[in-house]
Amino acid sequence: MTDHGKGRGGHRLGKVRLRARSAQALFCLALGMFALFGCQNSPSIPAERADGEILVPTEEAPTYHLLEGYGQRWLEHVRKGVETARTYWGSYGPTHVWIVGREDGAVIAPETRRAFLMEYCRCRTSTSERSLSECLPHAQARFFGVMDRGESEAYLSYVNDTKPPMAELVFINVHKWFFERDPVPDPVLRGIHEYTHVFQKSFGATPTWMMEGGAVFAEAWLPFIHGWRGMERAMERCRESAARVSDPDITIADMEDIDAAPAHVSKYYRELAYDTGAWAIGFMIHESATRRVSSLRDEFYPSVTDLGWETALSKYVRMKDKAAFYAAFGAFMKRPLRQQLDLLKRLKE
Ligand SMILES: [Zn+2]
């Protein structure tokens, strides 16, 4: 499971909630043990899969599920982000998108809630050994527990031991992230972010900073190439967040696996993985032969599956090894902001 939750203006969820969702990830994976078929056609699965590679190319669009009574506009925002990312990265899955929420004062009737939970649990258990009666209380807590507390969440959870494995994108109370003044509504950005993870999970395993940094970079890059907004301000906010890591000895090299990171590192999950990570992705592309962002999609990720991420990275950035990359990136992050922003102008489509 890869989660993501982000407040406004670059403020991110505290570690408490991130940890809470890690616990939820266990449920996602545990339920995945039993969730089979039922929801989608089954594309053929290669006999051997690279570590971390769990999704496959598919012509099928994601299936969207909206809680009745929650505004259709929220589905449309999320769909715009997901489809923007899917058009760019390519179509992978199978992917289900589950959207629930309760706007101020709204009442969601018990039978409406029940219908949503049944739709979800039928999808997850239709051919499994797990029963609907086991699924329903978990789903109740996962969707409506969060919704009724008024919290907002967006994350990918993947089900990796089904045939086929599948991706679930979950969006809860995304209306709270919506502000009219934003050139690109935040729920659209959340869709871009989470679908980027679907793409990433279709190739070999990559480190935490590359997963989250890639998704945050996509939030800046895709709106930019569509002319919705510039990317400088978004990347500046990432730079400001990266600067909040007060210990100069802690770098993205310490953020290869959030689950293994010690507390003095994991407390900077947001700053290192997401925000420094976004700059690391930009720096990677800049050091590549073509400086084309599309080469990340067309060359780098396929090579991760073939070579493993460390070898793929050193070849892509034309450096001796990942240590050389980390050293070069560390030096880059010490440069003045203006020079850093100039790097973005040299990236090509
Ligand atoms: Zn994420």
> Mind listing the pLDDT tens digit for each residue in 161-201?
666 788 999 999 999 999 999 999 999 999 999 999 999 99
Q: Do residues 269 and 255 lie in contact, with contact meaning Cβ atoms separated by under 8 Å? A: yes
Q: How far is the CA of 3 from the centre of ligand 1 (A)?
A: 5
pLDDT at 28 over 50: no
Residues contacting residue 309 through CB under 8 Å, at least 6 positions apart: 204, 205, 206, 207, 210
Q: Name the domain boundary from 167, 200, 233.
A: 200
Q: Name the domain boundary from 154, 177, 200.
A: 200
| Residue 261 pLDDT class (50, 70, 90 cuts) | very high
Q: Which residues surround ligand 1, an ion (CB under 5 A)?
A: 4, 212, 215
Q: What's the pLDDT tens digit per position in 288-347?
A: 999 999 999 999 999 999 999 999 999 999 999 999 999 999 999 999 999 999 999 999
Q: Do residues 56 and 93 lie in contact, with contact meaning Cβ atoms separated by under 8 Å? A: yes
Q: How far is the CA of 299 from the centre of ligand 1 (A)?
A: 22
User: Pairing between strand 166-172 and 56-57?
Assistant: unpaired
Which of residues 292 and 38 earns the better pLDDT score?
A: 292
Q: What's the pLDDT tens digit per position in 221-260?
A: 999 999 999 999 999 999 999 999 999 999 999 999 999 9
Burial of 69 (0-12, 13-18, 19+ CB in 10 A): middle
Domain match, 187 and 298 both: no
φ/ψ of residue 42, rounded to 5:
-110, 105
Domain match, 245 and 195 both: no
Domain match, 68 and 120 both: yes
Q: Do residues 197 and 211 lie in contact, with contact meaning Cβ atoms separated by under 8 Å? A: yes
Q: Do residues 92 and 55 lie in contact, with contact meaning Cβ atoms separated by under 8 Å? A: yes
Domain match, 13 and 161 both: yes
User: Pairing between strand 166-172 and 95-100?
Assistant: parallel
Domain match, 45 and 130 both: yes
Number of domains in the chain: 2
Domain match, 214 and 305 both: yes
- What pLDDT score was predicted for residue 131? 82
Q: Give percent of the chain with pLDDT exceeding 70.
A: 83
Domain match, 114 and 71 both: yes
Q: How far is the CA of 6 from the centre of ligand 1 (A)?
A: 9
Classified as helix, coil or strand, 130 is coil
- What pLDDT score was predicted for residue 51? 61
- Once rounded to an integer, what is the mean pLDDT over residues 198-219? 97
| Residue 48 pLDDT class (50, 70, 90 cuts) | very low
Q: How far is the CA of 197 from the centre of ligand 1 (A)?
A: 7
Domain match, 228 and 141 both: no
Domain match, 151 and 216 both: no
How much is the pTM?
0.87
* DSSP string across 29-66: HHHHTT--SSSS------SS--TT---EE-SSPPEEEE
- Domain limits for position 219: 208-345
- What pLDDT score was predicted for residue 53? 62
Q: In the numeric block, which tokens belong to residue 229?
A: 């907004």
Domain match, 15 and 69 both: yes
Say how many CA atoms lie within 13 Å of 201 toward its Cβ.
Answer: 26
Q: Name the domain boundary from 146, 179, 200.
A: 200
Residues contacting residue 107 through CB under 8 Å, at least 6 positions apart: none
Domain match, 249 and 332 both: yes
Q: How far is the CA of 117 from the centre of ligand 1 (A)?
A: 25
Q: What's the pLDDT tens digit per position in 57-98?
A: 999 999 999 999 999 999 999 999 999 999 999 999 999 999
Q: How far is the CA of 100 from the centre of ligand 1 (A)?
A: 19
Domain match, 32 and 135 both: yes
